[in-house]
Amino acid sequence: MNHTLKLTIQRVEGALIRALGLIERRGFAVTSINAEADAAAQQMELTIEVRSAGRSADVLARQIEKLFDVRAVTLMPAEEPAVALEESMAC
């Protein structure tokens, strides 16, 4: 299943890598990522497309939500099918 995650993270040391590392460690492949900084709020908005063969994206969202640098998480089914599973898992 493909999903889109929208994250608002605090711009502090390690926040970005912590969120991305968690996603991969929990068995999801990142198929695309877009980041926009909000300098005034010291925050970053991430739009991340992920896919996994069998893991629950809902649980993933809750695992990300627990990170102390993460301010908000929204989970949506991906709008259009992302790359094929074989391709994404190869990375």
Which residues in this chain contact another protein in the complex, by CB under 8 A? 13-14, 17-18, 21-22, 25, 56, 58-59, 62-63, 65-68
Minimum CB–partner distance for residue 52 and another protein (Å): 14
Q: How far apart are CA 60 and CA 44, in angstroms?
A: 19
Instruction: State both tokens at 25.
Output: 């460690």
Of 38 and 58, the one with the shorter C-beta distance to another protein is: 58
Nearest residue (CB) to another protein, 59 versus 84: 59
Strand order of the β-sheet with 29-38 is: 29-38, 43-51, 2-10, 70-77
